[in-house]
Structure 1
C-alpha cells in the first residue's frame, strides 16, 4: 500500500512507452508537486523502514525481497532529485509575514522607500511543503533530512548488513551443494550415525526450508538492492569496497567469527552497545556450549527417554553405594588408578574454560568419580550391539560368547587409551 501510494504515475491514464532496453522510465517533472506535498510519506517512512530493516534477517528471501522492492521504488530516475528538492524547500529560512498580508506581496517598512529592494518572497511550493509537514508533525517537529548525514549512516549500516547477508547466503548455498538431502541427513542423525557436537546438541539446519533456488533469489535481491541504494544516495565504489573489506576482517585466521565487542567485568564479559548491535544483526556471536553436569543434560532425540531415566537412577544408586571405593581407586598412582580415572572422571571438566559467572562460582564444587551408564540409552549404542550380535550369529557365535568377546575388545581399547592419556599428561608436564 505504501509503495503504491508513492508511485501515482504508475496508475496515470497516460503512460509512457517502455523503452526497448527495459530501463525504468524517468519520473516526469509534473509529479514534483505531488512529491513535495507528500514529503513525509517519502522521507520519514523511509527512515522508519531503514531502522526496521537493520533489525531484520536479510538472509530470508521474504525480507530480502522487501528491501529490494523499497530500494527499487526509490531508485527510479529523477525521484531522488525530487525528494531532495522538496527537502531543500522545507529547510529554506522562513520569513515573518505580517498579519493579514498576502504571503507573496509583503508591504514595505514604514521607514523604507518604495524604491528600496524588497525582501525575497516565500515561494508557493515552499509554503505547501512546510504546511504539509507542520500539519502532520507540528510546529516544533525535528525533521531528519533523508539525504542528511544521519540517514546516510543508516544506509551505510544497511549496506554492510546486505553484504554480510550475501556472504551468509553464499555459505548456505555451498552447504546445499556439498551436503546430502536434508531428509536423509535427519534420518541418519536420528539413528546416531553422524557426528554430533561435543555437547550432544545437533546444529540447527535451515537447509530444508531454504532450497538452492531460494538462496539464489536472495542473493539476486540483495545484489540489486545494494546497487539501488548506491544510486539513490550516490555511494561510491570505494565505500562499498571498504564495507566488504571490513567484513572480511571480522574473521580470524581459522575462519571463525570473533567474539562480539565486550568488556571484562567482575562476573565475566559484559556486552557493549556495539556488541549488542553485532549480535542482533548476526555480525558476531558467542560460541555457546553446555558446561553443566553431563548427566543432567536434556534427553536428546537420539536417546530413549524411559531408558535414560532408568539408567540414571541405576548409576546414581551405584555411585552412592560405592562412592568411597571409587575415590580410593582413582587416588592410586599405578595403572589401575589411571584405568579407573579414565572411566570414572571427566577429563574435559578440569580443562574446560568456564565462561558463565554462575559456573565460575560453582567450579569449586568439583564432582568426584562416578559411573555413567547413559551411553546405553542411545539408539546408536543399541543398534551397534544388535549389529554386532547379528554378525556374530553368522559365524555361529552365541550371545554369551559374543558379549565376552566384546568386553575383551573394549578392555584392550580402554587400556590402550589409558596409556595414551597418561603419556599425554607426562608430555604436558
Structure 2
C-alpha cells in the first residue's frame, strides 16, 4: 500500500507543472552568398539571400525549458511570427506534457486560416519546443525519448551543389564534403538546358568515383515527359534518388516515375500538412519520403507521417533542419538519410559531429541546441507572454 501511495504521489507531482512563460523571436539569418537552384534559372524565384526563423522558447513554473523553431525562405517569415503571436497565449497555464492536446488547441485558435502552410508552420515552433522540453526533463536526447533505432544516421550534403556554383566549385565541394566524412553528395539539376544538367551529373559522378552516394534534385522544374527522359538517362549512374522531378502536388506523375524507373524517387519537402503526405504514400508516389517537421506543423505531425511511411516500408530522408531531423531520423525503423546543411551553424553554440559518412546523434538532452550570441544580432522582433519563473 505504501508503495502504491508513493507511485501515485510521483504521478501527481509529474503532472502538476504548467507553462508559465513563452518568448517568440523573429531572426533573419543572412547567407554568405546568394543561392540559386532551378527555380531561379527558370524565372520562378529570385536567389535566396537569407532564411527567416521563428524561435519559440517555453518555460514552466517548475523551471523546465524547451526551444523550437520554424523557418521560411524568401517569404512568409514575418507571417509565421505574427500568427504565432496571435495564438501563443492559449498555452499559458497548460500542462506541457499534453503535447498532442496542445497542438490541437493551437490549431483551433487559428482555425480560420486553415490546417496547412503558414498556420501550422507557426505551430511547429511551439510543438518542437515542447518536445525539446519533455526530453530535457527526462534527461534524454530527443531521439532516445522517441525510441531510437540507431545512434547515428547516414548524411548527405546539398549546400555545395547549387546551380549558382560553377562546376569547378562544385567539384571542390565534393572533395571537401568527402574529406569531412559526409556519406552522400546531392547536386541541383533542372536547368532549362537538360544537356547542361547531364554534363554536370557526369562530372560530379566521375569526381565522386564511388567514394560516396550521389543524388540529384530538380526542384519541381520538369514536366512529366522531361522527367521520364532524364530519369532514364540517369539509370547508369546508380543514383540513390532523383528528388522533386515534378510539381510537388503531382501525385500521379510521381507515381508513374516511381513505377517505371529503377532510380528511386524522392519528394515531400514542399508539402505543408500530414494530409498532403498521405496522398503521396497511398498512391505509391515515392520511394523516399521527405517530410520537413517545421513545414508540416512540428514533431507531433511528423511522427504521424513516419508511422504511415513505415507501414509502406518507405525510406525516409527529411528535408533541411538537421538539428531537428537527426533525432527524428534516428527513431525511424528503416535506415534513413539526413541532410547536412552548415547554414544554421551561426545560430547555435553546438555543432553536430560526422564520422564515416554518418551524423552522430548528440548525447545532450533534448535537441541539444542553444541559441548563440550572434543570433541575437539578427533578431528583428521579439514578444513575451506570461511571467518567467
TM-score of the superposed pair, with normalisation by structure 2? 0.21
Name whichever structure is richer in strand by fraction.
Answer: 2
Task: Select the structure of larger CA radius of gyration.
Answer: 1
Name whichever structure is richer in helix by fraction.
Answer: 1
Higher RCO (CA-CA < 8 Å; seq separation 6+): 2
TM-score of the superposed pair, with normalisation by structure 1? 0.19
